Chains A and B, each alone.
Chain A
Amino acid sequence: MTHAFTRDQVLAWLDDVKDPEVPVLSVVELGVVRDATVAADGHVTVTVTPTYSGCPAMRHIEELICEALLLRGAPLVTVQTVFVPAWTTDWMPEAARAKLEAYGIAPPGRAEASDALVPLRRAGAGPRCPFCKSARTALRSEFGSTACKALWVCAACTQPFEQFKAI
């Protein structure tokens, strides 16, 4: 039995697999899916990289990847995890950042190594409020509802919002 899918087709299908916690982003846009190969017998191997070391969604994401490809007729799917290169939010394309903001999550800034281990002030401007677009935002905590998000408050519209952390 021959299969009708190529690497590009696989990646296109994986673009339909959304991050369970941030369902506007696909696992491809998130940079979690690094590559896919299709063997002659149709066996698909998808290479992924973890976002945060303890991210509890990674196993579910692997299951979603397998499910998406098996449902499309792949006879066998293997998900392989690599650590190198380390996942970074810098990989996130502009279109994905715009989708995040539209969804109500401020996109990440550039991941920069800071000089000081313990600065009391943050260099650079914070994110604008994804709701009212004001620049008058304040950091509440660098730890939010998930490993990847920080908690901010908007002084203009008073709404709290989350930001995808730069890492």
Chain B
Amino acid sequence: MPSLPLLRALCRIGDDRLILGHRTSEWCGHAPILEEDIALANIALDLIGQANFVLQYAGTVEGAGRTEDALAYFREAIEFRNALLCELPKGDFGVTIVRQFLHGVFSVLQWDALSRSADGTIAGIAAKALKESHYHVRHAGEWVIRLGDGTEESHRRAQAAVDALWPYTGELFVQSADEADLVAGGLTADVSLLEPAWQQQVRDVLARATLQAPEVPWMHGGGRDGRHTEHLGHLLAEMQIVARSHPGAQW
């Protein structure tokens, strides 16, 4: 009997990495320096690899014969459950790095919690992803410090990035009510419990970077239930076009 709540929960976890991985891969060939071109491509690869394992399991749990490719390439925007933060355009290098950092700290905390999941497959995927995510956060966090505590221009761009992205961070800690049984059973983690550690780690690095976290009166949301920004449709058009043009093709 397929578990719809577990399928949804797995899509939330997998879609974050798939969409963020895609955005990160957009830098391939265009990064400001060669080492960053390589770093961002490697990070994107890790993220897409994590999404691959999670969505593969989601398809298994659903039991309707959908593979990870079917879920990635043949769902519509309204069926994706990533946080809005992940689908925003890559912006300049500052925006990319700040977004990588803000989501990355959440990711480390979430994977850490999921590595204790009562579901062995989720725990196994999470334990691996956690180790990779530590490298991602180190990379992004060290850049946040260099950019924030850097030149007048890098500081201005980094602060603009923090200001633009902060209103999308609240959504990361909104726990979906339809996962109540999964949380109670220890299968998934209650993301609202991750916020205090996230605030502390993020604010510590922002302070070292001489950057300010803005006060925002309202946080964006809706991605976890398929209500996305205007950006996701364009992203999916690019990401899905090859598969959709040749449905059923085998590599």
Contacts and interface: CB of A to CB of B under 8 A. Distances in A.
Contacts of B128: 50, 52-53, 83, 86-87
Contacts, number: 91
Contacts of A114: 134
Contact of B46 (A52, A82, A118, A145): A52
Interface range for B: 35 or more
Contact of B123 (A84, A143, A144, A146): A84
A149 to B, nearest CB: 9
A20 interface: no
Interface string B205-220: 1000000000000000
B49 A82 contact: no
A146 B131 CA distance: 16
B33 to A, nearest CB: 10
A91 B244 CA distance: 42
B124 A117 contact: no
Nearest to B39: A143
A151 B50 CA distance: 23
B38 A143 contact: yes
Contacts of A56: 45
Interface range for A: 20 to 34
A142 interface: yes
A118 B45 contact: no
Interface string A84-124: 10111000000000000000000000010010011110000
A117 B53 CA distance: 25
A167 interface: yes
B141 interface: yes
Nearest to B143: A118
B108 interface: yes
A63 to B, nearest CB: 12
B48 A54 contact: yes
A117 B48 contact: no
Contacts of B131: 86, 88, 111, 167
A155 interface: no
Given A118-B141, A120-B145, A142-B139, A83 B35 contact: no
Nearest to A84: B124
A111 B125 CA distance: 18
B45 A117 contact: no
A142 B47 contact: no
Interface in B101-123: 105, 108, 120-121, 123
Contact of B139 (A55, A83, A143, A146): A143
Nearest to B40: A143
B127 A83 contact: yes
Contacts of A147: 42, 45-46
Given A86-B127, A141-B38, A143-B38, 19 more contacts: A50-B128, A52-B45, A52-B128, A53-B52, A53-B53, A54-B45, A54-B52, A83-B127, A84-B123, A117-B108, A117-B201, A117-B205, A141-B39, A144-B38, A147-B45, A151-B35, A151-B38, A167-B132, A167-B135
Interface of A: 50, 52-56, 82-84, 86-88, 111, 114, 117-120, 140-147, 151, 165, 167
5 contacts: A52-B49, A56-B45, A83-B128, A87-B128, A114-B134
The 3 closest A-B CB pairs, nearest first, are A54-B49, A83-B124, A118-B141
Interface of B: 35, 38-39, 42-43, 45-50, 52-53, 105, 108, 120-121, 123-125, 127-129, 131-132, 134-135, 137-139, 141-142, 144-145, 201, 205
